[in-house]
């Protein structure tokens, strides 16, 4: 591990000022992803700014019934078990409980979960020289390598890595808004605009500026979010990343779909909001025929590689199963 300095921030202003003056500084919260990357030599910050003492762990209702605010330092286990989340946004509770292990969930934070680096064997091992995410312009080792876990949607010739977060998939389906603060002020970033597709700059995972600190995530009031579900398909029953995951919420009245929220995980560089599937579902009678048609519409543009083409059909079946589960809720 490379040498670095350590600073303990006492308020958001102090934290953002530290990173504003040092482009290679990183915020440290739970550290469940950052510390691993530092040990491997993938991340090499010259300064860690510990934000754990900031008052950003709240989980509370927004004024005038506008939704719920989750502080950036709220631990994943606390969010998953909070009554406001369990009752109003079960898809988020289920997604968090499907992620990692209890020990990691007790340490990992909401803000840190948003900032997990994308998953790829070649990115996480500096022994592989070809990785445009670590070394822009070096090529993508996964394109012609072992790519079983990699993207089938939204990828580019520069990168086919996937976002590893379960939480992000639920947040995408819920139209969450990320609140951030810097020395210049505050701003709100819709979750759809927070993470980036790889394009020609796969080394840039998010649209967050280097000196911006995530302070909270806001969940809008969505009455039918109580009728939601998270499905995770993985190689083993626990402590495994998703091959494919699906977050679904449905508004069904008299058997007909009035509104739908669908997001996919494990298939792209960011949580994939399935907008084509949502549009295809509205007005249809809830049932396997409509669900399969919507899945086919969404995955029509999917592109598989030597080792992961199976994920296209897997994603379709997972969508149908998740939608069917929610449709059967009373």
- Is 238 part of a structural domain of the chain? yes
Write out the two tokens for 252: 């069904």
Beta-carbon contacts of 280 under 8 Å, excluding residues fewer than 6 positions away, are 290, 293, 294, 297, 298
Write out the two tokens for 287: 């049932």
Task: Single out the residue of 214, 208, 278 nearest to residue 250, CA to CA.
Answer: 278
CATH number at residue 36: 3.30.43.10
Tell me how far apart the alpha carbons of residues 159 and 276 are, in angstroms, rounded to a whole number.
Answer: 24
Summarised one tens digit per residue, pLDDT across range 76-112 is 999 999 999 999 999 999 999 999 999 999 999 999 9
For the sheet with 244-253, list strands across it: 228-233, 244-253, 256-265, 272-273
Q: How far is CA 5 from CA 23, 48, 173, in A?
A: 13, 6, 38
What pLDDT sits at residue 59? 98
Query: Which residue among 53, 74, 89 closes a domain?
Result: 53
- H helical segments located in the chain: 12-20, 34-40, 76-81, 83-88, 90-98, 102-107, 110-114, 121-124, 167-173, 191-194, 275-281, 288-299, 310-327
What pLDDT sits at residue 330? 67
What average pLDDT does range 287-311 have in this prediction?
Answer: 98
- Is 25 part of a structural domain of the chain? yes
* Number of domains comprising the chain: 2
Summarised one tens digit per residue, pLDDT across range 10-62 is 999 999 999 999 999 999 999 999 999 999 999 999 999 999 999 999 999 99
Query: Which residue among 13, 31, 53 closes a domain?
Result: 53
Residue 27's φ and ψ, nearest 5 degrees, are -75, 140
Q: Are 263 and 275 in contact (CB under 8 A)?
A: no
Tokens 């008052």, residue located:
55
Tokens 């990115």, residue located:
123
Tell me: pLDDT of 1 over 90. Answer: no
Residue 48's φ and ψ, nearest 5 degrees, are -110, 130
**Hey, is 76 helix, strand or coil?**
helix
Summarised one tens digit per residue, pLDDT across range 130-185 is 999 999 999 999 999 999 999 999 999 999 999 999 999 999 999 999 999 998 99
Instruction: Quote the domain boundaries for residue 309.
Output: 226-327
Instruction: Convert 171-193 into a string of H (helix), E (strand) and C (coil).
Output: HHHCCCEEEEEECCEEEEEEHHH
Percent of the chain predicted with pLDDT > 90: 97
Tell me how far apart the alpha carbons of residues 17 and 36 are, in angstroms, rounded to a whole number.
Answer: 25
- Is 123 part of a structural domain of the chain? no
pLDDT band, very low/low/confident/very high, at 238 (cuts 50, 70, 90): confident
- Is 195 part of a structural domain of the chain? no
- Is 314 part of a structural domain of the chain? yes
Tell me how far apart the alpha carbons of residues 265 and 118 are, in angstroms, rounded to a whole number.
Answer: 12
Instruction: Kindly report the average pLDDT of the chain as a whole number.
Output: 97
Dihedral sign for Cα atoms in the order 265, 269, 271, 275: negative
What pLDDT sits at residue 61? 98
CATH number at residue 284: 3.30.390.50
- Is 15 part of a structural domain of the chain? yes
Percent of the chain predicted with pLDDT > 70: 99
Tell me how far apart the alpha carbons of residues 246 and 265 are, in angstroms, rounded to a whole number.
Answer: 6
Q: How far is CA 284 from CA 276, 277, 287, in A?
A: 14, 12, 8
Task: Single out the residue of 297, 249, 291, 244 nearest to residue 268, CA to CA.
Answer: 244
What pLDDT sits at residue 160? 98
Tell me how far apart the alpha carbons of residues 239 and 75 are, in angstroms, rounded to a whole number.
Answer: 17
What pLDDT sits at residue 275? 98
- Is 142 part of a structural domain of the chain? no
Tell me how far apart the alpha carbons of residues 74 and 326 are, in angstroms, rounded to a whole number.
Answer: 28
- Is 309 part of a structural domain of the chain? yes
């Amino acid at each position: 591990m490379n040498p670095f300095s350590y600073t303990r921030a006492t308020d958001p202003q102090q934290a953002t000022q530290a990173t504003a003056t040092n482009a290679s500084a990183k915020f440290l919260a739970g550290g469940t992803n950052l510390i691993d990357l530092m040990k491997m030599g993938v991340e090499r910050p010259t300064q860690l700014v510990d934000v754990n003492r900031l008052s950003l762990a709240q989980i509370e209702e927004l004024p005038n019934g506008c939704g719920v605010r989750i502080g950036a330092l709220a631990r994943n286990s606390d969010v998953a078990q909070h009554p406001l989340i369990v009752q109003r946004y079960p898809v988020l509770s289920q997604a968090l409980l499907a992620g990692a292990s209890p020990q990691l969930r007790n340490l990992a934070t909401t803000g840190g979960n948003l900032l997990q680096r994308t998953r790829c064997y070649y990115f996480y091992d500096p022994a592989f020289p070809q990785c445009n995410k670590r070394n822009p312009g070096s090529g993508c080792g996964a394109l012609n390598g072992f790519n079983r876990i990699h993207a089938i949607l939204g990828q580019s010739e520069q990168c086919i890595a996937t976002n590893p977060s379960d939480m992000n998939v639920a947040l995408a389906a819920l139209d969450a808004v990320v609140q951030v603060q810097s020395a210049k002020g505050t701003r709100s970033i819709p979750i759809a605009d927070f993470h980036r597709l790889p394009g020609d700059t796969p080394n840039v995972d998010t649209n967050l500026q280097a000196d911006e600190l995530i302070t909270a995530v806001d969940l809008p009031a969505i009455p039918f979010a109580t009728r939601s579900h998270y499905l995770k398909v993985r190689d083993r029953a626990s402590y495994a990343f998703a091959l494919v995951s699906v977050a679904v919420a449905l508004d069904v009245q008299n058997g007909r779909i009035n509104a739908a929220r669908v997001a996919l995980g494990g298939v792209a560089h960011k949580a994939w909001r399935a907008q084509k599937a949502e549009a295809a579902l509205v007005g249809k009678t809830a049932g396997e025929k409509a669900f399969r048609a919507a899945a086919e519409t969404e995955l029509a543009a999917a592109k598989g590689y030597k080792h992961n083409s199976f994920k296209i059909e897997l994603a379709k079946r997972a969508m149908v199963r998740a939608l069917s589960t929610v449709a059967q809720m009373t």
